[in-house]
């Protein structure tokens, strides 16, 4: 069967080379007579994978030595709770910048655990843009500042990050980590569910500045305390070993592609092609995000009318395109063009969009 054009928002496309590699080793990992899913997480075979993934992620993202790298479970959604549990103390506030559904959910969890406020938001504009840096508000009571770097539902992305020296910046980078160069040292903590650019669902990466650990209270449940996972190198309990194995293969693939700089170039080419297709349609396709805030990972757009939109999705599915329906909360269309989505798939989508436009233009 031919593979489809996968534009799913998450879980999303994985590199073909990675899938082939995993398939070849699935039943017999490195001639050991067992699947990697069957190895003990205390075995030397798995330990090599675990350590290698950590080291390669550090290399690719140029993570400084004063940061820890953790492989956790529970997705980014568990981090919504762990962050305030570990860092939001009495007398402090969590400062949240709202740019979409995921930042709203992070705020909602923090509100259950301590004092919070919204230091910046684009909700009044239906989250079609990222707030301007000079409009963001801070307080000397900030325990941390939280943002979501890329917004999968609304198709917006922070192009530049706030620089704030008084409290650590924490970022949910689930949907754009590994897609571009990052100023790691601007952040106190970065977290990312793997199922966009890092691998399959099941593992969450946390990049944590070591200085943050001194702020953690002692009464936390063991599994919800970052120090537990730092002390045990993410091996306090059985980790999602197969997901981490797949993560390691994706990191190796990223390196063979030339690392982050080359990946960023490829992503820029895909992004330009798709947005040019939208912009040149003279309103037949209309992007939902303001131009300056457009995401390079999730391209959101509408067609003139719901009936035409449904026809577009139907005909696209018949041509082998998957995942183009917008999030249920906003409707419309969305093409998620993460690292593993090849340029050829984006070209095929662009061609289909132009053909559909010419066929149905009113």
Cα gap 326→332, rounded to integer Å: 5
Size (the chain), residues: 362
- The question of whether 158 is a catalytic residue gets the answer no
Contacts of 37 (CB under 8 A, 6+ apart): 241, 242
Which one is catalytic: 102, 142, 158, 225? 102
Backbone angles phi, psi at 150, to 5 degrees: -140, 135
Q: How far is CA 77 from the centre of its chain?
A: 12
- Give the residue from 151, 44, 56, 161 showing the smallest Cα distance to 102: 151
- The question of whether 102 is a catalytic residue gets the answer yes
Q: For the chain, what is the radius of gyration of the CA atoms? A: 21
Cα gap 186→123, rounded to integer Å: 25
DSSP-based three-state secondary structure for 181:
coil
Residue burial 91-115, b: 16+ Cβ < 10 Å; e: rest: ebbbbbbbbbbbbbebbebbeebbb
Largest CA distance in the chain: 65
- Give the residue from 325, 86, 38, 340 showing the smallest Cα distance to 194: 340
Which one is catalytic: 128, 196, 270, 325? 196
- For the record, the structure tokens of 257 come out as 């592609």
Residue burial 286-308, b: 16+ Cβ < 10 Å; e: rest: ebbbeeebbbbbbbbbbbeeeee
Contacts of 42 (CB under 8 A, 6+ apart): 235
Which one is catalytic: 128, 158, 172, 253? 172
DSSP-based three-state secondary structure for 93:
strand
Cα gap 267→304, rounded to integer Å: 28
Catalytic center residues: 102, 172, 196
């Amino acid at each position: 069967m031919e593979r489809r054009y996968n534009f799913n928002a998450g879980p999303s496309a994985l590199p073909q080379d990675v899938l082939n590699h995993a398939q070849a080793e699935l039943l017999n990992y490195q001639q050991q007579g067992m699947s990697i899913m069957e190895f003990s997480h205390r075995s030397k075979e798995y330990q090599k994978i675990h350590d290698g993934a950590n080291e390669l992620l550090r290399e690719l993202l140029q993570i400084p030595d004063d940061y820890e790298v953790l492989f956790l479970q529970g997705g980014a959604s568990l981090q919504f709770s762990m962050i305030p549990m570990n860092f939001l103390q009495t007398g402090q506030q969590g400062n949240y910048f709202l740019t979409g559904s995921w930042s709203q959910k992070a705020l909602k969890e923090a509100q259950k655990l301590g004092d919070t406020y919204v230091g910046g938001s684009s909700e009044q504009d239906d989250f079609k843009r990222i707030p301007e840096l000079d409009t963001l508000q801070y307080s000397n009571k900030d325990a941390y500042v939280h943002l979501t770097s890329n917004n999968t539902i609304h198709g917006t992305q922070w192009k530049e990050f706030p620089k704030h020296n008084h409290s650590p910046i924490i970022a949910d980078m689930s949907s754009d980590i590994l897609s571009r160069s990052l100023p790691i040292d601007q952040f106190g903590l970065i977290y990312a569910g793997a199922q966009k650019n890092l691998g399959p669902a099941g593992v969450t990466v946390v990049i944590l500045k070591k200085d943050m650990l001194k702020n953690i209270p002692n009464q936390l449940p063991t599994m919800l305390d970052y120090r537990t996972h730092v002390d045990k190198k993410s091996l306090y309990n059985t980790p999602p070993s197969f997901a981490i194995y797949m993560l390691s293969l994706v990191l190796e693939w990223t390196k063979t592609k030339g690392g982050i700089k080359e990946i960023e170039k490829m992503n820029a080419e895909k992004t330009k092609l798709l947005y040019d297709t939208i912009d040149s349609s003279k309103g037949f396709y209309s992007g939902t995000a303001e131009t300056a805030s457009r995401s390079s990972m999730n391209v959101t757009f509408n067609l003139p009318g719901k009936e035409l939109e449904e026809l577009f999705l139907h005909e696209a599915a018949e041509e082998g395109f998957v995942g183009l329906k917008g999030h249920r909360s906003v409707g419309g269309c969305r093409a998620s063009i993460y690292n593993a989505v090849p340029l050829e798939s984006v070209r095929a989508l662009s061609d289909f969009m132009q053909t559909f436009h010419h066929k149905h233009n009113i």
